[in-house]
Amino acid sequence: MQHATWTPSPHATPATGGPPRVDLSLYLVTDSAMAGSRGLADVVARAVAAGVTCVQLREKAASDEEVVALGRQLVEMLAGTGVPLLIDDRVHLVHPIRADGVHIGQEDTPPTAARAALGPEAIIGLSVHDAAQVDAANALPPATLDYIGLGPVWTTGTKEGHAPPIGPEGLADLRRRSHHPAVAIGGVKAHTLAELAGSGVEGVAVVSAICAAADVLAATRELREALATSPLQGEL
């Protein structure tokens, strides 16, 4: 498949190490199984309408072909919203999908290789779980990463074999240590957001809090309201 015609969304500009190029405040990680018969595109559309600012397509059990089909559907649906689509792990699918970037884990494609493959316009995030991994991310060449995902904050059932929970205090410590914008992930719910106030992270990532919600619009609005009343950038 040819990639020469791929162009990023207008909001994806070269990484500079300054403010995040993407609004991380309410970051949705997808789960088609939780979306169920409603369909993933419907859940994502409702979530974006209610305030989600970034979407990561994470479908571990899906084939490459299935991820491409889902991704293209989401790209079409997100057009004009200003909300970027990132692909989980699969760097080689970013261009075919015409997504805005990728989110990689510690055991996936190295960040420098992902940047080399995708170019300066792509948004690249990295999962980070402890101080040593934060230090390693800090040591990467400038403009390799756009943000990091810190966690899990609490135990979560949406990812098997996850690292030990770091808790709200551990989250704040790692954010202070990091040179990159950060999004908190792992067990985040509207009713737990108050515990993250003042942690310094730029946003929170959720899976089941939206994808498993009976009313996606209401659940997303509840998360936005919780973020407004418990500012992540405020004082601890």
26-45 pLDDT per residue, tens = 999 999 999 999 999 999 99
Q: Is residue 115 in some structural domain? A: yes
d(CA 11, CA 82): 7
| Interval 91-144: pLDDT, tens | 999 999 999 999 999 999 999 999 999 999 999 999 999 999 999 999 999 999
pLDDT beyond 50 at 7: no
What is each CA distance from 196 to 34, 43, 146, 171, in whole angstroms?
A: 25, 26, 22, 8
Q: Is residue 61 in some structural domain? A: yes
DSSP-assigned letters across all residues of 98-118 = T-SEEEE-TTSS-HHHHHHHH
> What is the CA 224 to chain-centroid distance, rounded?
16
Q: What's the total number of domains in the chain?
A: 1
pLDDT at 24: 98
CATH of the domain at 131: 3.20.20.70
Q: Is residue 8 in some structural domain? A: no
Q: Is residue 16 in some structural domain? A: no
Poorest-pLDDT segment among 81-95, 134-148, 161-175: 161-175
Q: Is residue 21 in some structural domain? A: no
Q: Is residue 19 in some structural domain? A: no
Q: Which residues of 61-92 are buried (b: 16+ CB within 10 A; e: fewer)?
A: ebeeeebbebbebbbebbeeeebbbbbbbbbe
Q: pLDDT tier at 163 (50, 70, 90 boundaries)?
A: confident
Q: Which domain holds residue 203?
A: 26-229
Q: pLDDT tier at 184 (50, 70, 90 boundaries)?
A: very high
Number of H helices, E strands in the chain: 9, 8
Instruction: Tell whether omega for the bond before 152 is within 30 degrees of 0, i.e. cis.
Output: yes
**pTM of this structure:** 0.91
d(CA 40, CA 133): 32
Q: Is residue 4 in some structural domain? A: no
